[in-house]
Chains A and B, each alone.
Chain A
Amino acid sequence: MFDFDATLPLMAVQFLILMALLNAVFFKPLSKALDERDNYIRQNYKDAEDRLAKTQELASQYERELAQTRKAAQEIVIAAQNEAQERSNQKIAEAQREAQQAREKAAAEIEQQKQEAMQSLEGQVSALSRQMLEKLLGADWVNS
């Protein structure tokens, strides 16, 4: 069982040759392939991460812009509403004023006509009262 002979050194040499051969056809190329793949994956991963960060930044920027735009739109709407309100108030006030004027005018006309009517009535008072007297006392009595 334990007989040592030239098998030992030859085996050692053979093993070293195997090591050199395997290094050339197995360890080196495949290690290189693994490293390259690692690099490739890491690179891709990094690119993807960069892109994701960029996307998120863009999204947040868009959101900010959107919020700003919304605020601006709201401001415009409020301004327009205020303006409309103001204008309608103005119109209402104008209309009320016009109505007031028209009413005052009408009232003044009525007053005037009343005065006129009164005046004309007053002018007729003596004639009427004379007629009434004539009817009551007779024309002769009155005229005399």
Chain B
Amino acid sequence: MLDVLDTFSALPIASLEVGHHLYWHIGNLKVHGQVFITSWIVIAILLTASVLATRNIQRVPTGAQNLMEYALEFLRDLAKSQLGEKEYRPWLPFIGTLFLFIFVSNWSGALVPWKLIHIPEGELAAPTNDINTTVALALLTSIAYFYAGFKKKGLGYFAKYIEPTPILLPIAILEDFTKPLSLSFRLFGNILADELVVAVLVLLVPLFVPIPVMMLGLFTSAIQALVFATLAAAYIHEALEGHGEEEH
């Protein structure tokens, strides 16, 4: 598959690069520079929108405040529907930031023509199409739900591993590994696949034909952000509640 793509990339019209990164060296650590560049842009967009919205808070919202209030109410409903009225407030920033960051990242990948900006190596793309980003977010989710469980029940949190029966202990332990794995790979796979499909179609037919796939990509991107945030909230809820709800 990748060989085929490489032969295509020999063509001058457009090119596909998978696995090439712009490496930055910090001490003796290597980081993917292109991921950070786009993620900073995403962060800048989020912070700018937030500051614009909250700079001058009115009772009757207008403009940016209205937009961000709409976003906030959406996130509140999301968190509330998963965590319940009582528990959702302390977790709202985490779940909300997850959603906003993934959503803006995904849409930036679908809407901003990053590929026109040339960098020395690799290419700019949505931060979420790098496995490091998605795994980082998934691991944070794992830490978050462990933290939620321990904070609520202390060491009694481990009781959920042997309830209702100790026979399920291996599966319960396995779940703690499959949760971040499925979270990160779902997001990574969807976004990378979407960008690859669009890129391949652009290679084959440069005009108009990729547009439906791009629309589908926008849809998938939004859905993936929603799925990630919802699942994170559901895992936290599970840890808070404790009685074994199976994998969603």
**B130 within 8 A of partner (CB):** yes
Report the separation of the CA atoms of residues A139 and B51 in the bound assembly, to the nearest whole angstrom: 161
Q: Which A residues are CB-close (under 8 A) to B136?
A: 7-9, 11-12, 15
**A103 within 8 A of partner (CB):** no
Tell me whether B133 and A34 are in contact (CB under 8 A): no
A:21-45 near B, CB below 8 Å: 21-23, 25-27, 29-31, 33-34, 36-37, 40
Q: Which A residues are CB-close (under 8 A) to B229?
A: none
Tell me whether A1 and B19 are in contact (CB under 8 A): yes
Report the separation of the CA atoms of residues A29 and B56 in the bound assembly, to the nearest whole angstrom: 10
How many B residues touch A, CB cutoff 8 Å? 45
Report the separation of the CA atoms of residues A21 and B40 in the bound assembly, to the nearest whole angstrom: 13
Report the separation of the CA atoms of residues A23 and B100 in the bound assembly, to the nearest whole angstrom: 12
Name A's interface SS.
Answer: helix
Q: Which B residues are CB-close (under 8 A) to A22?
A: 46-47, 50, 93, 96-97, 100
Smallest beta-carbon distance A68→chain B, Å: 46
Q: A6-B26, A8-B136, A30-B72 are in contact. Are A15 and B59 (CB under 8 A)?
A: no
> Total contacts A to B, CB within 8 angstroms?
114
**Minimum CB distance partner of A29 in chain B:** B54
Tell me whether B93 and A19 are in contact (CB under 8 A): yes
**B132 within 8 A of partner (CB):** yes
**B80 within 8 A of partner (CB):** no
Most central of B50, B51, B69 by chain A CB within 10 Å: B50
Q: Of B57, B131, B133, which contacts A30 at CB under 8 A? A: B57
Segment among B27-35, B111-119, B157-165 that sits at the interface with chain A: B27-35
B:135-149 near A, CB below 8 Å: 135-137, 139-140
Tell me whether B101 and A15 are in contact (CB under 8 A): yes
Q: Which B residues are CB-close (under 8 A) to A10?
A: 31, 36
Smallest beta-carbon distance A124→chain B, Å: 125
**B179 within 8 A of partner (CB):** no
Name B's interface SS.
Answer: helix
Q: Which A residues are CB-close (under 8 A) to B18?
A: 1
**A3 within 8 A of partner (CB):** yes
**B43 within 8 A of partner (CB):** yes
**Minimum CB distance partner of B43 in chain A:** A18
Report the separation of the CA atoms of residues A7 and B50 in the bound assembly, to the nearest whole angstrom: 26
**B94 within 8 A of partner (CB):** yes
Report the separation of the CA atoms of residues A4 and B62 in the bound assembly, to the nearest whole angstrom: 44
**A95 within 8 A of partner (CB):** no
Q: A2-B131, A37-B59 are in contact. Are A26 and B50 (CB under 8 A)?
A: yes
Tell me whether A8 and B135 are in contact (CB under 8 A): yes
Q: Of B29, B61, B137, which contacts A15 at CB under 8 A? A: B137
**A140 within 8 A of partner (CB):** no
Report the separation of the CA atoms of residues A16 and B32 in the bound assembly, to the nearest whole angstrom: 19
Tell me whether B36 and A7 are in contact (CB under 8 A): yes
Q: Which A residues are CB-close (under 8 A) to B132?
A: 4-5, 7-8, 11
Tell me whether B69 and A33 are in contact (CB under 8 A): yes
Report the separation of the CA atoms of residues A37 and B26 in the bound assembly, to the nearest whole angstrom: 48
Smallest beta-carbon distance B87→chain A, Å: 15
Q: A29-B54, A30-B54 are in contact. Are A18 and B46 (CB under 8 A)?
A: yes
Q: Of A5, A8, A12, A30, which contacts B69 at CB under 8 A? A: A30
Q: Of B35, B59, B135, which contacts A40 at CB under 8 A? A: B59
Offer 8 A-B interface pairs, CB within 8 angstroms, sorted by A. Answer: A5-B30, A22-B46, A22-B50, A25-B54, A26-B54, A27-B72, A33-B69, A40-B59
